[in-house]
Structure 1
């Protein structure tokens, strides 16, 4: 698969809430760098993160655009994220089923066709304002 095909498969699995499909595209030593918080290391940590996210949020990636490097070692995605806040996440406002829409940027490193780094970036203040005013 090309980098763009790998990223498209990753987000297709995300939209299905298919954690195992996402994990199949990751290297065992993957590093996940969230927009806020501490980096996670390894597939098991990523698996736990996905379970948490699927419990607290229902999200869909809308119209992703992929950018790739020439040597198949880097890629990026920009997209809109439509979501619903299902269960209160620690340290965040109470969940009451609020909906939100965010622009997200994600950066990837790949090696031997597998994702070795996922770095997500979004505006937490915008998200917070949306769920507090809903």
Structure 2
């Protein structure tokens, strides 16, 4: 079994004023997956805003969905992030769902669990803001 470096990576592959195409890849120590999706800068800012409130030290849970569930050939990423009271690490469940380009082909899903440090989540939040403001091309959580 190959050991991977756990991460969540959102890279901008195309953008205009209202929409961005993102390549999202994620890996745990045992599994990995990658999809492409479309998201608006407003969606990315919303994720960043909700992450900022998550980082205040209390026991919290946040759920996010990026992408369109019925857009053929592209996919979605669902992020379920939770943290116990004042814990130094969080638990992040990443669900990548690839929508097939053809109706007769079934969608595929990959579920990964990561344990990022809270400080890494803070850096990820700042990188998401840069992507939403067109000042960066990537937001990465993990090594």
TM bucket (normalised to shorter chain) is: 0.3 to 0.5
Q: Using structure 1 for the length normalisation, give the TM-score.
A: 0.33
Q: Using structure 2 for the length normalisation, give the TM-score.
A: 0.31
More helix by share: 1
